[in-house]
Amino acid sequence: MRESIVSGLSVNALDRISHHFNERYIQPEKLPGGVTLVARHGEIVWIQAQGLMDVERNRPMQRDTLFRIYSMTKPVTSIAMMQLYEQGKFLLNDPVHKYIPSWRNMRVYKSGSYPDFKTEPAATEMTIRDLLTHTSGLTYGFTERTEVDAAYRQLKLDGSTILTLDKLVDKLAELPLEFSPGTAWNYSVSTDVLGYLVQVLSGKSLDEYFNEHIFQPLDMTDTGFHVRPDQQDRFASCYLYQPGDKMKLQDDPARSKFLKPPRFLSGGGGLVSTIDDYHKFAQALCQGGQYKGQRIIGRKTLEFMRRNHLPGNQDLPALSIGGFSETPYQGSGFGLGFSVKTNVTQSQTIGSEGEFGWGGLASTNFFIDPEEDLVVIFMTQLMPSSSYPIRQELRALVYGAMV
């Protein structure tokens, strides 16, 4: 069979992606289904939907299926924040308490359990840059690692029907940090706090700001904080990994909390989107901040964001205190809102230094390789994202198609 080459990629080799996912994950019922997109030099070279979006109702996955993208919301919030930076609304080394006065004298955990913590004053002030890089000292309740994250769970700070951004910020002011800001890396609600700051700095609600400054310019008509009635028949089921490589229904699209506008606008994990919508956003980032004549961020701002901002140019294993993240740690640093590949050989996956991206709790993922002018997005709905090594396998399949 004659090899078909498009934008320096072998389409025949890319077809291995569908075979791989079908044989390894979909047929054995480890994954419900998925949609994969590969774009190079600004054009979509390969896109395929396979498997089911709703196993219980036997509904096939479609290109326009709507997914819970969870932490793939974080890069959107980080771009929104840096748009405001470009307008002179704040500086990266501004202390967070300049905008959230109740955070002026943050303390660090020493011992005890909630509500009887023993604490000490933080050795450093938390800055906005600490929030963007997850070096803030905040955490997530679902990591289940410390007494502090146990308090987050008790107070439902990862999200609940009664939580709002204002309540989140108020409650966090009362809790100790895991460590003094800037001294370690820990995946956390930092980006939800950034969402709160977007509201403070812009005077708009987070959903309004996203719509006006990111979604409408990029024509992302299917992306938002809830599923509209006209989208409901395209909304996928979400599944939970079970021991023995099985899965069970975690969120039924007919009864999901995503069907109603939320009180808590989570800049850390609240969006739903389609693969084509998210491609518009990712393609803008690949093209220096603009897509089809619409610029969402300045070229130099984006270059700055995708550098490694961890102290001393360290990688995540050197600085991380938690075991959870949406990227393999080795050979990766962290920029302002994305993981950044700093050393290809240490990462033990094919790629390029400077590649950046992130993933979501339900195993969605995207990465951008500026050196190769490449965008790759994978959408599925299986929690947690650590269930299978899908992301590393996908990299091997995509880079293996380069000619």
Question: b vs e for 157-192, b when ≥16 Cβ sit within 10 Å of the residue's Cβ?
Answer: bbbeeebebebbbeebeebbbbbbbbbbbbbbbbbb
Map tokens 């023995």 to a residue: 244
Picking from 219-223, 327-331, 374-378, which range would have the lowest pLDDT averaged per residue? 327-331
Which pLDDT does position 2 carry in this prediction?
80
pLDDT in tens, 13-48: 999 999 999 999 999 999 999 999 999 999 999 999
The whole-number pLDDT of residue 108 equals 98
In 46-164, where does DSSP find H-type helix? 74-86, 128-133, 147-154
Which string of b and e fits 252-274 if b means at least 16 CB within 10 Å?
ebeebebeeebebbbbbbbbbbb
What is the pTM assigned to this prediction?
Answer: 0.97
Torsion sign over Cα 348, 243, 67, 80: negative
pLDDT in tens, 270-293: 999 999 999 999 999 999 999 999
DSSP 276-321: HHHHHHHHHHHTTTEETTEESS-HHHHHHHTS--SGGG--HHHHB-
Amino acid 242: pLDDT: 98
Instruction: Quick: pLDDT tens for 229-285.
Output: 999 999 999 999 999 999 999 999 999 999 999 999 999 999 999 999 999 999 999
What is d(CA 170, CA 140) in angstroms, rounded to the nearest whole number?
A: 16
Dihedral over Cα of 303, 271, 322, 179: its sign? positive
Phi–psi pair at 225, nearest 5 degrees: -85, -5
The single-letter code of the amino acid at 363 is: S
How do strand 374-379 and strand 33-40 relate by DSSP bridges? antiparallel
Q: What percent of the chain has pLDDT over 70?
A: 98
Q: Per the structure block, which two tokens stand in for 182? A: 């800037």
CB atoms within 10 A of CB 105: 10
Q: Which three-class secondary structure state does DSSP give residue 162? A: coil
Q: How far is CA 173 from CA 100, 127, 168, 199, in A?
A: 9, 15, 9, 18
Give the tokens for residue 190. 């930092």
Say yes or no to pLDDT of 360 above 90. Answer: yes
Domains of the chain: 5-75+205-399 (3.40.710.10), 83-202 (3.40.710.10)
pLDDT digits (tens, 9 = 90+) for 114-128: 999 999 999 999 999
| Secondary structure, 3-state, 68-94 | ECHHHHHHHHHHHHHHHHHCCCCCCCC
- What is the pLDDT of the chain when averaged over all its residues? 96
The answer for residues whose C-beta is within 8 angstroms of residue 368's C-beta and 6 or more apart is: 282, 285, 286, 355, 356, 357, 374, 375, 376
Name the CA radius of gyration of the chain, rounded.
20
Task: Write out pLDDT tens, residues 98-111.
Answer: 999 999 999 999 99
pLDDT band at 325 (very low <50, low <70, confident <90, very high): low
Q: Phi/psi zone of residue 356: left (φ > 0), alpha (ψ -120 to 50 degrees), beta?
A: beta
Q: Name 379's bridge partners.
A: 35
Lowest mean pLDDT among 179-193, 232-246, 263-277, 327-341: 327-341
pLDDT at 322: 73
More confident residue, 323 or 42: 42
pLDDT of residue 144: 87
pLDDT at position 162 is 85
